[in-house]
Amino acid sequence: MKITIINFTTFLYSLSLPNIVQILRNSGHDVRCVNVISDPKESLVPDLPAIIEIAKGSDLVGLSLFSCYHDHAVVLTKALKKQIGDIPVIWGGVHTTYLPELSLQFADYICVGEGEEAFPEFVESLSQGRKDQVNNIWYMSGDKIVKTSMKALNNNLDAYPPFDYNHEGFYQVEKGKARHLKDYNFTRLYF
């Protein structure tokens, strides 16, 4: 599957995603990751064309967010569905764990709690055209929320693959412009 995962941040990039990206890639999925550097108080509209250009052709889009980025996630979810078709959009991150009911008013699916195992399992089910119930992945059925059980926490973090510090397929979108993370001037953060 072609999957785009988008994270909103004021900072360089999210520690929530590199593991998940690597696990999905190890299962053969084509995954790109976009870090949108944006002030939550500012409009996301100027960044939408650059984000959508990267996400075009995806079979599934994931958004990762803190609560302060709820409005950005709503705007982006609506824009994605309007501009690249009615593809499934899943939200994850601390916001969906804190406020699952609110998140499900806008997202097709949400991840509650940890995603390293739940998200790849969900992707596997979706790519086979099935609609299995996956622990930690909630969705709406009519006007009812389908709440699945929580997976047991995996205390063996060594079971997960290391981050890909080559940043292959990682992008930054800032002030309406996209660039590959490889071309990012990291030193500007420190000097």
Site string for ligand B12, 75-114 (x = CB under 6 A): ---------------x-xxxx--x------------x--x
Cβ-based nearer residue to ligand B12, 13 or 170: 13
Residues 148 and 132: beta-carbon distance below 8 Å: no
Residue 150 near ligand B12 by CB under 6 A: no
Q: Cα–Cα distance between 172 and 7 in angstroms, integer?
A: 10
Cβ-based nearer residue to ligand B12, 115 or 181: 115
Tokens of 169: 């397929």
Bridge partners, residue 90, by sequence: 62, 109
Residues 102 and 70: beta-carbon distance below 8 Å: yes
Residue 170 near ligand B12 by CB under 6 A: no
Residues 91 and 62: beta-carbon distance below 8 Å: yes
Among 4, 35, 58, 64, interactor with ligand B12 by CB under 6 A = 64
Site string for ligand B12, 24-63 (x = CB under 6 A): --------------------------------------x-
Residue 18 near ligand B12 by CB under 6 A: no
Q: 35: exposed, middle or buried (C-beta count within 10 Å: 0-12, 13-18, 19+)?
A: buried
Give least dist CB 6 to ligand B12, A.
Answer: 9
Among 116, 124, 164, 174, interactor with ligand B12 by CB under 6 A = 116
Q: Cα–Cα distance between 108 and 78 in angstroms, integer?
A: 11
Give least dist CB 185 to ligand B12, A.
Answer: 17
Residues 27 and 1: beta-carbon distance below 8 Å: no
Rg (CA), the chain: 16
Summarize as ranges the residues that interact with ligand B12 (CB under 6 A): 5, 9-11, 13-16, 20, 62, 64, 66-68, 90, 92-95, 98, 111, 114-116, 119
